């Protein structure tokens, strides 16, 4: 699905702003009391984009389990009479329904990927219509991510889930009204290669309707560097300016659709010419060994929750640059398209992850179940074909959305799933195959949990790169960095000996209260976080197949409440409002030196 854009043949109206908002306390969808059938009866209003949870003071809204409703009136621009009219929702977390007046036009499962509806036949150019979007935040054993809804003694619903980030919900990304011609570009796929100093751009255009296609590739100044006719083809760019980590040079593939020689649709697709490959124990970008530095992140900030915010977008990338990092992982779900576009333009390397987090009953609230409640629960207990179908859909939609981003160098199909239990290999093998079939050009990985070391993990054999999350010095050997160092090195050597594949530490970190200091190895102090990271770095520098380090986490973030989290997860190198802890300065020294050496 193409991102809505203003082009010579297309227009876009942002529907962001304040919408009417209501919490559905009576399960209206199930009872047939249709909130979409007329004006929403509510005094509440909510901004789009934003998660709704932290906007209001009423705990019943923050902790609501089930549907909420957003509504506004929309006027179709009067010049759109000859066009198709599309409503596009960038994300509805986790289940969205869209009504135009009282007609259901779209329904979507999965909280972090876009969906759209063609509403041309229901609206009139120049007139208004009522747009109502329902969003259900429930996670069940069959959703990605999974969760469980139970009923408390007093009848209130309670949502539990195995990941630790807070289950923010609502319309956290933009909503658009878009026009496009009846005959139009439906999809574009671009794959690039390098032949000496020549850039090779293979393209494939899918059309809705019968028409001819011509394309031209322009450089960053707008000058044409190649052109071709036909819906598929190859363009060759002499002396190509490559997309490089740290220097995100972009060309634009301008696709024109013609009928009888007249241009009926135009769509510009940015293109970064670069290659990605795994070679033995090395990860190569443009044929050169690449070492990942950076973070696992979250889309998270005060008040707006997971709401996309361009100011945070720019500031977070500024901090990534300030600290000398070159990459991040979209832990633990696909991020807003604005983030991916920004990474493309600024040369930041991305490991792109599905929302398959918490497929692990041995984890509670994001951490290993130390109290034992889930010890006897294994993968076969609940993770069945319905979840696998949902997982397949997530992989399809993610690759469909993000396949043309040069910043994306690898797909991560899950974070810390159970890969210890019997049946996990048969669950995952087809998912790896699907990702490779959809995109044969990028490595595919998953992120391995500490409970599945090399001799236990049944799934690492399918991954091109070993991505490991380890908490030696925190959940294991807490406060004892000498033991942690020995255990970490022994495990990494075990992986290296068994697989010889490139390894990235995709999580390592310590909860840290900004402003808490100690001269000793005291967990939660700023000094401990810095010493622990330094310990990991000593080990990484000794292990040859390590190709990257991504600290957990970029910034402190909100979690569900519980006795092991104090106002959220504090493993951020920056606080939730993006102030550096001591570790940020230490990382900056290491990573800027590495960047300067490259
Ligand atoms: C993990 C999870 C991450 C948690 C982190 C922690 O392994 O992947 O989502 O936030 O541990 O801090 O416990």
Q: Does residue 550 sit within a domain?
A: yes
Q: Is the pLDDT of residue 378 over 90?
A: no
Does residue 1 lie in a domain region?
A: no
Residue 161: the pLDDT is 92
- Ligand 1 centre distance from Cα of residue 367 (Å): 6
Q: Mutate which of 145, 298, 452, 507 to test ligand 1's pocket (most atoms within 8 Å of Cβ)? A: 507
Q: Is residue 593 pLDDT above 70, yes or no? A: yes
What does the mean pLDDT of the chain come to? 95
Q: What is the pLDDT of residue 380?
A: 60
The Å distance, Cα 499 to ligand 1 centre, comes to 24
DSSP string covering 81-137, please?
A: TTSEEEEEES--BSEEEEEETTEEEEEEE-TTS-EEEE-GGG--TT-EEEEEEEEE-
415 alpha carbon to ligand 1 midpoint, in Å?
Answer: 9
Residue 371's pLDDT band (boundaries 50, 70, 90)?
Answer: very low
Q: What is the pLDDT of residue 377?
A: 59
Q: Are residues 293 and 401 in the same domain?
A: yes
**CATH of residue 221:** 2.60.40.10
Asked if the structure places residue 406 within a domain, the reply is: yes
Atom of ligand 1 nearest to the CA of 557: 10
Asked if 234 and 286 sit in the same domain, the reply is: no
Same domain membership, residue 147 and residue 61: yes
Confidence of residue 373 (pLDDT cuts 50, 70, 90): very low
Long-range contacts of 315-320 (CB under 8 A, 24+ apart): 315/578, 316/554, 316/555, 316/578, 317/342, 317/343, 317/346, 317/348, 319/554, 319/574, 319/578, 319/580, 320/294, 320/295, 320/348, 320/554
Domain shared by 108 and 232, yes or no: no
20, 66: one domain: yes
- Pocket lining: 71 vs ligand 1, CB cutoff 6 Å: no
* Cβ 415 under 6 angstroms from ligand 1: yes
CA distances, 223 to each of 5, 195, 253 (Å) = 21, 22, 12
Region label for 533, one of left (φ > 0), alpha (ψ between -120 and 50) or beta (otherwise): alpha
Segment 240-258 shows an average pLDDT of 98
- Residue 2 domain flag: no
pLDDT digits (tens, 9 = 90+) for 554-579: 999 999 988 888 899 999 999 999 99
Q: Which of 157, 180, 203 is the last residue of a domain?
A: 180
Cβ of residue 569 lying under 6 Å from some atom of ligand 1: yes
Nearest ligand 1 atom to the CA of 469 is 7
What is the dihedral angle through the alpha carbons of 242, 245, 251, 252, rounded to the nearest 10 degrees?
Answer: 150
Eight-state DSSP code of residue 335: P
Active site residues: 416, 507
Nearest CA to ligand 1 atom 7: 469
Same domain, 201 and 120: no
Domains: count for the chain: 3
Question: Tell me, what's the pLDDT at 382?
Answer: 61
Same domain, 251 and 281: no
Predicted local distance difference test score (pLDDT) of residue 92:
98
Mean pLDDT of 485-509: 98
Here the CATH number for the domain that contains residue 151 is 2.60.120.260
Number of C-alpha atoms within 13 angstroms, CB side, residue 368?
Answer: 12
State pLDDT tens for residues 60-95: 999 999 999 999 999 999 999 999 999 999 999 999
**Residue at 577 is within a domain:** yes
Determine if ligand 1 sits within 6 Å of the CB of residue 416: yes
Residue 4 lies in a domain: no
Which atom of ligand 1 is least distant from the CA of 447?
8
Mean pLDDT calculated for residue range 224-242? 98
Same domain, 248 and 154: no
- 164 alpha carbon to ligand 1 midpoint, in Å? 7
Flag whether 3 is in a domain.
no
Q: 198 with 64, same domain?
A: no
Q: Is the CB of 367 under 6 A from ligand 1?
A: yes
Which pLDDT value is given to residue 1?
A: 87
| Residue 7 counted as domain residue | no
Atom of ligand 1 lying closest to residue 163 CA: 9
Q: What is the mean pLDDT of residues 19-47?
A: 83
164 Cβ below 6 A of ligand 1: yes
Rounded mean pLDDT, 302-319:
98
At 375 the pLDDT is: 52
The mean pLDDT value for 152-175 works out to: 95
CA of 2 to the centre of ligand 1 (A): 33
Q: What share of the chain has pLDDT > 70, as a percent?
A: 96
Which domain-ending residue is among 135, 153, 180? 180
> Coil, strand, or helix at residue 565?
strand
What pLDDT shows up at residue 370?
47
Report the separation in Å between the CA atom of 533 and the middle of ligand 1, taken as the mean of its atom positions.
Answer: 16
State mean pLDDT over 3-28: 92
CB 273 within 8 A of CB 241: yes
Assign residue 405 the CATH number of its domain. 3.20.20.80
pLDDT above 60 for 366 = no
Report the run of H or E that residue 547 belongs to, with start and end. Answer: strand 546-552
Quote the pLDDT of residue 452: 96
Residues 310 and 338 in one domain: yes
Q: Is 511's C-beta closer than 6 angstroms to any atom of ligand 1?
A: no
571 lines ligand 1 (CB under 6 A): yes
Each residue of 297-306: pLDDT tens digit?
Answer: 999 999 999 9
pLDDT of residue 596: 84
The predicted pLDDT at position 384 comes to 82
Q: Taking residues 476-485, what's their average pLDDT?
A: 97
Domain stop point among 224, 255, 274: 274
- How far is ligand 1, taken at its centre, from the CA of residue 581, in Å? 19
In this structure, the residue with its CA closest to atom 3 of ligand 1 is: 366
| Residue 204: domain span | 184-274
Same domain assignment for residues 150 and 254: no
Task: Convert the pLDDT of each residue in 33-45 to its tens digit.
Answer: 689 999 998 999 9
Q: What is the pLDDT of residues 392-414, one digit of tens each?
A: 999 999 999 999 999 999 999 99
- One domain, residues 67 and 111: yes
In whole angstroms, give the CA distance from residue 232 to residue 248: 25
């Amino acid at each position: 699905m193409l991102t809505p854009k203003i082009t010579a043949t297309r227009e876009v109206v942002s529907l962001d702003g304040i919408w009417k908002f209501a919490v559905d306390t009576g399960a209206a969808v199930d009872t047939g009391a249709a909130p979409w059938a007329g004006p929403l009866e509510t005094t509440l209003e909510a901004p789009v984009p934003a998660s709704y949870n932290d906007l209001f003071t009423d705990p019943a809204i923050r902790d609501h389990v089930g549907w909420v409703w957003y509504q506004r009136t929309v006027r179709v621009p009067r010049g759109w009479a000859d066009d198709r009219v599309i409503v596009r929702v960038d994300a509805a977390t986790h289940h969205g329904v869209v009504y135009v007046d009282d007609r259901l036009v779209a329904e979507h499962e999965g909280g972090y990927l876009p969906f759209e509806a063609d509403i041309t036949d229901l609206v009139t150019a120049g007139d208004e219509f009522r747009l109502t979007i329902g969003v259900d935040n429930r996670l069940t054993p069959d959703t990605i991510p999974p969760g469980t809804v139970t009923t408390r003694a007093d009848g209130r619903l309670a949502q539990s889930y195995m990941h630790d980030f807070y289950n923010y919900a609502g319309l956290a990304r933009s909503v658009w009204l878009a026009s496009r011609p009846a005959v139009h570009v439906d999809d574009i796929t671009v794959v690039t290669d390098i032949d000496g100093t020549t850039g090779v751009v293979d393209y494939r255009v899918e059309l809705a309707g019968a028409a001819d296609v011509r394309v031209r590739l322009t450089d960053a100044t707008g000058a044409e560097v190649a052109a071709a006719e036909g819906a598929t083809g190859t363009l060759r760019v002499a002396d190509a300016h490559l997309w490089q980590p740290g220097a995100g040079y972009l060309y634009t593939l301008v696709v024109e659709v013609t009928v009888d020689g007249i241009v009926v649709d135009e769509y510009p697709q940015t293109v970064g010419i670069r290659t990605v490959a795994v070679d033995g124990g090395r990860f190569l970008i443009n044929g050169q060994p690449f070492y990942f530095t950076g973070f696992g992140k979250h889309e998270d900030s005060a008040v707006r929750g997971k709401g996309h915010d361009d100011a945070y977008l720019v500031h977070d990338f500024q901090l990534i640059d300030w600290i000398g990092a070159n990459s991040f992982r979209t832990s633990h779900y696909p991020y807003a398209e604005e983030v991916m576009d920004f990474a493309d333009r600024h040369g930041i390397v991305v490991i792109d992850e599905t929302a398959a987090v918490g497929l692990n009953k041995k984890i509670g609230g994001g951490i290993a179940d130390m109290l034992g409640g889930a010890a006897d629960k294994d993968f076969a207990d609940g993770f069945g074909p319905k979840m696998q179908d949902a997982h397949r859909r997530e992989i399809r939609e993610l690759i469909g959305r993000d396949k043309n981003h040069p910043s994306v160098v690898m797909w991560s199909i899950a974070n810390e799933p159970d890969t210890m239990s019997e049946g996990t290999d048969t669950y995952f093998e087809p998912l790896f195959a699907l990702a490779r079939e959809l995109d044969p050009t990028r490595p595919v990985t998953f992120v391995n949990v500490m409970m599945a070391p090399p001799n236990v993990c049944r799934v690492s054999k399918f991954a091109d790169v070993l991505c490991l999350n380890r908490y030696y010095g925190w959940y294991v050997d807490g406060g004892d960095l000498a033991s942690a160092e020995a255990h970490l090195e022994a495990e990494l050597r075990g992986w290296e000996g068994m697989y010889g594949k490139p390894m990235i530490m995709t999580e390592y970190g310590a909860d840290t209260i900004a402003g808490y200091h100690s001269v000793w190895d005291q967990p939660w102090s700023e000094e401990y976080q810095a010493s622990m990271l330094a310990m990991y770095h000593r080990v990484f520098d000794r292990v040859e197949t390590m190709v990257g380090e991504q600290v957990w986490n970029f910034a402190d973030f909100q979690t569900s409440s519980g006795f092991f989290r104090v106002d959220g997860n504090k493993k951020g190198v920056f606080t939730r409002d993006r102030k550096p802890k001591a570790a940020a300065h230490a990382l900056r020294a290491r990573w800027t030196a590495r960047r300067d050496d490259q």
